[in-house]
Structure 1
Amino acid sequence: MSTIRPLIPLLITAGILIGGNGLQGTFISLRALQEGFSTSMIGVIGTGYNIGFAIGCIYITRVIRAVGHIRTFSALAAIASAASICMVLFIHPSSWFAMRLVQGLCFAGLFAVVESWLNARVTNATRARTLSLYRFVDLGAVTLAQYMIPAVGIGGFELFTIISMALTLSLVPISFADRSSPEPPEHVRFDVRVLWKVSPLATVGCIVVGLTNSSFRSLGPIYADGIGMSVTSIATFMSVGIFAGVVLQYPLGHYSDKLDRRLIILIATFGAFAAGLFLTFVAGTNALLNFVGIFFFGAFAMPLYSLCSAHANDHAAPGQHALVSAGSLFFWSLGAVIGPLFASFMLDMFGPRALFIYMVVVLMGFMVYTLSRMMVREGVPTAERSMRFRNLLRTSTFFNKLAAPPSEKD
């Protein structure tokens, strides 16, 4: 425990950020609905966050190298906090789009600072425990944060203030984390051509995950509200989908290390596809059936990013793993920009059930593409794979380094 203790302030900061980010995603969608924004406009606002996140992923290492970890974190936390307050001062779709874009950029940088700092401080002896604690913090913070919404209510200014306070208070533990700033991280280069050349399937898979999972995070509350769920049930609906994402991560990852990884990707995609059909045509307005459906959707859909990243690394040459990691995050961001935007127009035209109809169509297309790739390219034999499956968060490229055992680093 003494070896982990110096990392606890960083983990607390990560929990505050992850919880605040998870709370904002659900709350802003519901509050925008209450303010009379159209579903398509709510999708545009969600897209603003993802555009900012993509920009932040590309440029944040340059900022950290220029001014250091703590200055970068302090500036981004202050900007994100101010953006949260601006959203309650200026309630208009255009200003909310701009503020969500700013928040996306800031959160990409904030996660990068924390995870790069953790990477600098973690040792081989503490890596596994740190990663386990980080995933526990991630799951606990996001799940618990959802219930701030029914506890406080979506009207008024209170939740905006709570989010702003959380971002400001996240400065406290990280300020006491260490008296010295770690060495600046190596610049993460984004060469989008590398991932496509290494694995077209992984590239398309990361885009598909962005198209589907980001639409669930942005528009899931709108779907749940549209079928008549209460605010508490909406929080539960989102929590169940997020929590389910860890249930099959390790079983699917374990078998993907032993079998053709593309087969496991196909199985996971089919599972999410089947759950989407269940939510569309069977669940109806029954809350329990919707909870069951979203549990299975999250259980199969959420691990797809990690599976696709692992498949890309199977084909990566020595020295390409960092570029593959950056490319995976970039293509996920690309899908996450397009997904909520397109899905929201579908919801506007056809109602809440169009959300999962849209996802079913996307997932069906990915299944066909996966089968076609399995016919034209041989799988990588297990003995020749340079990396095993890793359970990844889409927070920053530095999480990939944190999750990689020392023997698997470039």
Structure 2
Amino acid sequence: MNDIRPLIPLLITAGILIGGNGLQGTFISLRALQEGFSTSMIGIIGTGYNIGFAIGCIYVTRIIRSIGHIRTFSALAAIASAASISMLLFIHPTSWFTMRLIQGLCFAGLFAVVESWLNARVTNNTRARTLSIYRFVDLGAVTLAQYMIPAVGISGFELFAIISMALTLSLVPISFADRSSPSPPQAVRFDLRVLWKVSPLATVGCIVVGLTNSSFRSLGPIYADGIGMSITSIATFMSVGIFAGVVLQYPLGHYSDKLDRRFIILISAFGTFAAGLFLAFVAGTNEWLNFVGIFVFGAFGMPLYSLCSAHANDHAAPGQHALVSAGTLFFWSIGAVIGPLFASFMLDLFGPQALFIYTTVVLFAFMAYTLLRMGTRSGVPTGSRRQRFRNLLRTSTFFNKLATPPTEKED
């Protein structure tokens, strides 16, 4: 425990950030619906966040190297807090799109600061425990944050204020962290052509995860509202889908290390596809059936990013793993920009069930492409070249280093 104690301020900061971010995603969609924004406009606003996040992935390392961790964190937390309050002062789609874009850029930087700082402080003895605690913080913060919405309500100013307060208060624990600021992180290279050459399947897979899972995160509340769920049920619906992601992470990851990883990717995609069909055509307005469906959707869908990243690392040459980590996150961001936007237009045209019809179409195409790649290229045999499965967060490129087992050396 003594080894972990210096990391506690950083982990508390991470919990505040992840919880605030998870709360914003659901709340902004519901509040925009209450303000009379169309579903397609809500999708555009969600896209703004993902555009900012993609930009942040590219430039945040340069900022940290220029002014250091704590100054970067302080500046971005202040900007994100101001953007949250601005959404209350200027209730207009254009303003909200702009503020969400700014928030996306800031959160990409905030997570990068925390995770690069954790990487600098973690040791081989504390890596596994730190990673476990960090995943627990992630899951607990996002799940609990959803229930702030029915507890407080979406009509007033309170949730905007709570989000702004959380972002401001996240400065407190990190200010009590180890006084010696870590060395600036190495610059992250972005050569997206390299990732495509390393693994076309992983590249397409990360885009697909962005297209589907991000659409659920942005428009899941709109779907749930559209089929008549209460605010409390909407919070439960979103929590179940997010919490379910941990259930099959390790079983799927375990078997992907032993079998052709593409076969496990295919199983994961098929499970998500089947759950999408169930939600679109069977669950209807029955709340319990929707909870069951979204649980299966999250259980199979959430591990897909980690599986694709592991597959890309299987084919990466020495010295390419950091680039692969940056590339998979960036390609996910591309899908996350396009997905909520296109899905929102589908919801406007065809109703709430169109969200999961859209995801099933995307996943069906991905399954077909996976089968094509399996027939085109032989799998990587288990052995020295195979990388162990890592349960990854889509927060920053530095999480991949935090998840690297002590027996492996990250390039």
Percent identity over the alignment is: 88
User: What is the distance in 2 between the residues matched to 1:35 and 1:109?
Assistant: 30
For the residue of structure 1 that corresponds to 2:3, the secondary structure is coil
Tell me the residue number matched to 2:305. 305
Tell me the residue number matched to 2:58. 58
Tell me the residue number matched to 2:203. 203
User: What is the distance in 1 between the residues matched to 2:352 and 2:241?
Assistant: 17
Tell me the residue number matched to 2:80. 80
Aligned: 1:338 with 2:327 = no
RMSD, matched Cα: 0.5
List gaps (5 residues or longer) in structure 1.
none
Name the CA shift for 1:72/1:380 in 2 (closer, same or farther; >3 Å): same
For the residue of structure 1 that corresponds to 2:392, the secondary structure is coil
User: What is the distance in 2 between the residues matched to 1:49 and 1:118?
Assistant: 25
Aligned: 1:170 with 2:151 = no
Q: CA deviation at 1:22?
A: 0.1
Aligned: 1:395 with 2:395 = yes
The answer to whether the 8 Å contact 2:241/2:298 transfers is yes
Q: CA deviation at 1:406?
A: 3.2
For the residue of structure 2 that corresponds to 1:245, the secondary structure is helix
Number of aligned residue pairs: give it.
410
Tell me the residue number matched to 2:23. 23
For the residue of structure 1 that corresponds to 2:285, the secondary structure is coil
Tell me the residue number matched to 1:229. 229
Q: Deviations over 1:21-47 (max 9, x none)?
A: 000000000000000000000000000
Q: Deviations over 1:203-226 (max 9, x none)?
A: 000000000000000000000000
Select between 20-29 and 175-184 the one with higher mean Cα deviation. Answer: 175-184
Residue 38 of structure 1 aligns with an amino acid whose one-letter code is S
Residue 182 of structure 1 aligns with an amino acid whose one-letter code is P
How does the TM-score come out when normalised to structure 1?
A: 1.00
Tell me the residue number matched to 1:114. 114
Task: Please list, as runs of the form range in 1=range in 2, the aligned pairs for 1:249-260 lying within 5 A after superposition.
Answer: 249-260=249-260
Q: CA deviation at 1:387?
A: 1.3
Aligned: 1:376 with 2:376 = yes
For the residue of structure 1 that corresponds to 2:379, the secondary structure is coil
User: What is the distance in 1 between the residues matched to 2:62 and 2:87?
Assistant: 28
Q: CA deviation at 1:384?
A: 4.0
For the residue of structure 1 that corresponds to 2:407, the secondary structure is helix
User: What is the distance in 2 between the residues matched to 1:407 and 1:249?
Assistant: 21
Tell me the residue number matched to 2:241. 241
Q: CA deviation at 1:385?
A: 2.7
User: What is the distance in 2 between the residues matched to 1:281 and 1:52?
Assistant: 34
Q: CA deviation at 1:405?
A: 1.4
Q: CA deviation at 1:178?
A: 1.4
List gaps (5 residues or longer) in structure 2.
none
Aligned: 1:128 with 2:131 = no
User: What is the distance in 1 between the residues matched to 2:290 and 2:333?
Assistant: 27
Task: Please list, as runs of the form range in 1=range in 2, the aligned pairs for 1:250-329 lying within 5 A after superposition.
Answer: 250-329=250-329
User: What is the distance in 2 between the residues matched to 1:133 and 1:407?
Assistant: 20
Aligned: 1:38 with 2:21 = no
Q: CA deviation at 1:119?
A: 0.2
User: What is the distance in 2 between the residues matched to 1:67 and 1:307?
Assistant: 35
Tell me the residue number matched to 2:149. 149
- 4+ long deviations beyond 2 Å: none
Tell me the residue number matched to 2:184. 184
